[in-house]
Amino acid sequence: MFRSLPADLIVVIFLSTLHLRVKSGRMGRAICSLLLLGLIALVIDLKSLHMCDEGGAPWFVRYGFGALGAVLPWVMPSHPWLTRVSLIPIILVGVFVARHLTASYHGEEITGNPLYSRGRFWHTPFTGQYLRESKETRAAREAEIERLKAL
């Protein structure tokens, strides 16, 4: 996608609701819902990346807000303009929540030590984080880096 969030908003809203009309049937709303689910999840994922090996928003944030946006064509079938306007806060709040979660992974709230934000840290399936690598693994990786530098 683009570097700016407003451009992403315009692209998502335009692409996903392009064929949505007042008289759109179930097929049109279903296509719109699938596009919204995928595009909102993609935008939230791309906008929440941080400088970490496994950086990114948890899956439930991406697809939760994507599903929330995908419901809109079914809730407001006779108001496509209201669907388009309602997508803006859903995407903005989704990006805010995802960015806050990914920024807090290495903050004092979770680790207690912001110095651990350097290198690989822990990400679990629920939060998207995994345990920090062991000393042996780190030593082997650093030895491999030194060996490659010597070549």
Q: What is the pLDDT along the chain (151 residues), one digit of tens a residue?
A: 556 667 777 777 767 676 666 667 778 788 888 888 888 888 888 777 765 555 567 788 888 998 998 888 888 877 778 888 888 899 889 888 887 777 666 554 454 444 444 444 444 445 555 455 567 767 877 888 888 888 8
Helix and strand counts by DSSP (H, E) for the chain: 5, 0
pLDDT at 113: 45
pLDDT at 108: 46
Q: Which two tokens stand for residue 45?
A: 């994922």
pLDDT at 55: 58
Distance CA 72, CA 68 (A): 7
Q: Do 83 and 72 meet the contact criterion of CB atoms below 8 Å apart?
A: yes
SS3 20: coil
- pTM beyond 0.85, yes or no: no
Q: Which two tokens stand for residue 36?
A: 């919204």
pLDDT at 147: 87
Distance CA 143, CA 139 (A): 6
Distance CA 101, CA 120 (A): 17
57: nearest Cα among 106, 91, 102? 102
